[in-house]
């Protein structure tokens, strides 16, 4: 039974805002830190919180200044105010919470929301809903238990007909669309369980999460799908201890994002491409964008082949540091896609102190235009400063009295190479919803373009068949 609605609630609960400031002296941690964290993940999470508290005290003078909220070194004032007014609602399909569906809870969040609204999803529950957190609903958190996470699932593809009878396109295929700023997720599975697209099939893009709002953070989440799993659309984004699975271009977009301690898995035996990042002047802020992966692990189906990325346009930027690369990573590493002369373009692909069979210096034969970064070259990419995190990244707000959960750490090199097929989202589940789905998420921005394609292996290089078309 619903106890109260978001619209009707007027009480607030104070929260001591905890900001994760990344100090320059800790930007390049020794590999032993990752090993210790893997051995005792719960202690690692507590240590992470403790360091944030210490940094908060050390930097109190900075926070006392007027907060610009623009990615500077002061706490974002609007975020601070929202956190101090946080409120939590339990979402339980059985009807024992405040809401039975996430859709209903989101519908009650007022326009121009100014407080942190935590939607506490029942652990282990599956919500078959297509969700949109719109531009006027900032400060929303989806929270569950990382040890028994709630799952949000849907199965649209780019070819799915919309209300007007036309295909929804890649932008509209998402299970969850986040267009609001300051979104946070903790311990939740986001899944698009449409059947995996066949090589060369048209309209097979199936987005699990599309993140358009800025200053969004995902902790201990799983993002599951096939082609175009995670649409890292635009803005500053942080992914901590997440699992991301897919096939072709399954992390793509124009975002400026930092992936830390994440596990990246291919779910196909064919060639997989992890990233398709684009910097472009046509989208505000995108020219300064790029994906940075630190302390992550890469693996997939045994016998498959994985490319670290392919150039979506001539200014793509992706960097991997301290990352364990499984044997599935191909020796050349990267694909120039349809860029005629990548060596003279604005493409910036680099690796720094990576390990594992896929990064073995004796075996790898990286393309000549990819960089083996020096420590100085790597510094801009190896900390949350890359996404100006000292003004907005903070630990997940949790329900008062609730369990903190256990932090999932990146697997070992052996685990990174394990067969991931048993845990993929390749099922053809029917969308017989037990909830009322929200309207199709339509982007308010101009539609971007990207080739939908399938990469096929040929003599150790990526031979791709592409069909140029609108993402929307």
- Residue 200 has, within 13 A of its CA and on its CB side, a CA count of 4
Cα–Cα distance for residue pair 227/432, rounded to 1 Å: 23
Cα–Cα distance for residue pair 356/121, rounded to 1 Å: 37
Longest Cα pair distance anywhere in the chain, in angstroms? Answer: 64
Tens digits of per-residue pLDDT, 50-87?
444 444 333 433 333 333 334 445 678 999 999 999 99
Output 99 or 55, whichever has higher pLDDT: 99
Q: Is 203 left (phi over 0), alpha (psi -120 to 50) or beta?
A: left
| C-alpha closest to that of 464 among 79, 200, 184 | 200
Q: Which of 41-45, 255-259, 419-423 has the highest mean pLDDT?
A: 255-259
Cα–Cα distance for residue pair 462/454, rounded to 1 Å: 10
> What token pair was written down for 178?
């986040």
Banded pLDDT at 221 (limits 50, 70, 90): very high
Tens digits of per-residue pLDDT, 201-215?
889 999 999 999 999
Mean pLDDT of the chain: 76
Torsion, Cα 342 347 351 357, to 10 degrees, reads: -40
| Least confident piece of the model among 172-181, 230-239, 409-418 | 409-418
- pLDDT at 431 exceeding the cut of 50: no
What pLDDT, on the 0 to 100 scale, is given for residue 422? Answer: 33
Banded pLDDT at 423 (limits 50, 70, 90): very low
Pairing of strands 452-458, 461-467: antiparallel
> What token pair was written down for 306?
């994985």
Tens digits of per-residue pLDDT, 7-60?
655 344 333 333 333 333 333 443 444 455 455 555 554 554 444 444 433 343
What pLDDT, on the 0 to 100 scale, is given for residue 382? Answer: 95
pLDDT over 70 for what percent of the chain? 65
Strand-pairing partners, residue 91, are: 99, 121
What pLDDT, on the 0 to 100 scale, is given for residue 146? Answer: 96
Cα–Cα distance for residue pair 217/187, rounded to 1 Å: 12
| Least confident piece of the model among 285-299, 354-368, 408-422 | 408-422
What pLDDT, on the 0 to 100 scale, is given for residue 310? Answer: 87
- pLDDT at 228 exceeding the cut of 80: yes
Neighbours of 2 (CB within 10 A): 15
Banded pLDDT at 278 (limits 50, 70, 90): confident
What pLDDT, on the 0 to 100 scale, is given for residue 280? Answer: 73
The predicted model gives 127-149 an average pLDDT of 98
Per-residue three-class SS string for the chain: CCCCCCCCCCCCECCCCCCCCCCHHHCCCCHHHHHHHHHCHHHHHHHHHHHHHHHHHHCHHHHCCCCCCCCCCCCCHHHHHHHHCEEEEEECCCCCCCECCHHHHHHCCCCCCCCCEEEEECCCCEEECCEEECCCCCCEEEECCCCCCEEEEECCCCCCECCCCCECHHHHCCCEEECCCCCEEECEEEEECCCCCCCCCCCCCCCCEEECCCCEEEECCEEECCCCCEECCCCEEEEECCEEEECEEEEEECCEEEEECCEEEECCCCEEEEEEECCCCCCCCHHHCEEEEECCEEECCCCCEEECEECCCCCCEEEEECCEECCCECCCCEECCCCCCHHHCCCEEEEECCECHHHCCCCCCCCCCCEECCHHHHHHHCCHHHHCHHHCCCCCCCCCCCCCCCCCCCCCHHHHCCCCHHHCCCCCCCCCCCCCCCCCCCCCCCCCECCEEEEEEECCEEEEEEECCECC
Tens digits of per-residue pLDDT, 101-110?
999 999 999 9
Query: Is 249 designated active site?
Result: yes
Q: Which of 291-300, 392-401, 439-448 has the highest mean pLDDT?
A: 291-300
- pLDDT at 299 exceeding the cut of 90: yes
What pLDDT, on the 0 to 100 scale, is given for residue 358? Answer: 95
Cα–Cα distance for residue pair 289/307, rounded to 1 Å: 20
Main-chain dihedrals φ then ψ at residue 262, nearest 5 degrees: -100, 155
- pLDDT at 174 exceeding the cut of 50: yes
What pLDDT, on the 0 to 100 scale, is given for residue 43? Answer: 56
The model's pTM: 0.73
Enumerate domains of the chain plus CATH numbers. Answer: 68-178+186-210 (2.160.20.10), 234-395 (2.160.20.10)
> What token pair was written down for 357?
């069979």
Output 232 or 447, whichever has higher pLDDT: 232
What pLDDT, on the 0 to 100 scale, is given for residue 447? Answer: 36
Output 177 or 249, whichever has higher pLDDT: 177
CA triple 462-464-465, angle to 5 deg: 165
Banded pLDDT at 244 (limits 50, 70, 90): very high
Q: Is 355 exposed, middle or buried (0-12, 13-18, 19+ CB in 10 A)?
A: middle
| Least confident piece of the model among 36-45, 83-92, 266-275, 449-458 | 449-458
Main-chain dihedrals φ then ψ at residue 48, nearest 5 degrees: -60, -45
CB distance 244 to 264 below 8 Å = yes
How far are the Cα atoms of 7, 11, 131, 396 from residue 462, in angstroms, in the given order? Answer: 52, 57, 35, 40
| C-alpha closest to that of 304 among 232, 355, 245 | 245
The residue annotated as part of the active site, out of 76, 92, 249, 314, is: 249
- pLDDT at 287 exceeding the cut of 70: no
The predicted model gives 255-281 an average pLDDT of 92
What pLDDT, on the 0 to 100 scale, is given for residue 36? Answer: 52
| C-alpha closest to that of 5 among 106, 133, 93 | 106
């Amino acid at each position: 039974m619903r106890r109260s609605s978001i619209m009707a609630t007027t009480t607030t609960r104070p929260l001591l805002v905890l900001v994760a400031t990344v100090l320059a002296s800790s930007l390049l941690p020794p590999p032993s830190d990752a090993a210790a964290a893997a051995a005792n993940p719960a202690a690692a999470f507590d240590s992470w919180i403790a360091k944030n508290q210490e940094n908060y005290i050390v930097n109190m003078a900075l926070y006392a200044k007027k907060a610009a909220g623009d990615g500077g070194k002061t706490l974002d004032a609007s975020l601070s105010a929202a956190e101090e007014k946080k409120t939590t609602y339990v979402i339980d399909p059985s009807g024992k919470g405040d809401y039975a569906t996430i859709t209903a809870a989101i519908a009650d969040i007022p326009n121009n929301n100014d407080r942190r609204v935590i939607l506490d999803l029942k652990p282990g529950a599956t919500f078959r809903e297509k969700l949109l957190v719109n531009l006027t609903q900032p400060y929303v958190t989806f929270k569950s238990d990382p040890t028994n996470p709630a799952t949000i699932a849907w199965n649209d593809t780019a070819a799915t007909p919309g209300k007007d009878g036309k295909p929804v396109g890649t932008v509209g295929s998402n299970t969850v669309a986040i267009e609001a700023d300051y979104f946070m997720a903790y311990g939740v599975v986001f899944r698009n369980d449409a059947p995996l697209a066949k090589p060369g099939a048209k309209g097979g893009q199936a987005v699990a999460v599309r993140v358009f709002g800025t200053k969004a953070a995902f902790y201990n989440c799983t993002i599951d799908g096939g082609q175009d799993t995670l649409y890292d659309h635009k803005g500053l984004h942080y992914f901590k201890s997440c699992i991301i699975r897919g096939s072709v271009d399954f992390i793509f977009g124009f975002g400026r994002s930092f992936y830390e301690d994440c596990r990246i898995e291919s779910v196909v035996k064919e060639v997989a491409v992890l990233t398709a990042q684009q910097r472009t002047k046509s989208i505000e802020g995108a020219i300064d964008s790029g994906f940075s992966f630190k302390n992550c692990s890469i693996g997939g189906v045994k016998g498959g082949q994985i490319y670290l990325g392919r150039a979506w346009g001539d200014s793509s930027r992706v960097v991997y540091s301290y990352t364990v690369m499984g044997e599935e990573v191909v020796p050349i590493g990267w694909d120039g896609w349809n860029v005629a002369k990548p060596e003279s373009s604005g493409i910036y692909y680099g690796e720094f102190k990576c390990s594992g069979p896929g990064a073995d210096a004796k075996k790898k034969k990286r393309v000549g235009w990819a960089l083996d970064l020096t420590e100085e070259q790597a510094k801009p990419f190896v900390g949350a400063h890359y996404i100006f995190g000292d003004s907005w990244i903070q630990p997940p707000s949790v329900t008062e009295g609730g369990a903190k959960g256990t932090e999932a750490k990146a697997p070992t090199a052996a685990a990174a190479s394990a067969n991931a097929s048993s845990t993929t989202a390749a099922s053809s589940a029917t969308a017989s919803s037990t909830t009322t789905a929200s309207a199709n998420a339509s982007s308010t921005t101009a539609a971007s373009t990207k080739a939908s394609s399938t990469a096929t292996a040929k003599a150790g290089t990526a031979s791709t068949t592409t069909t140029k078309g609108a993402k929307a």
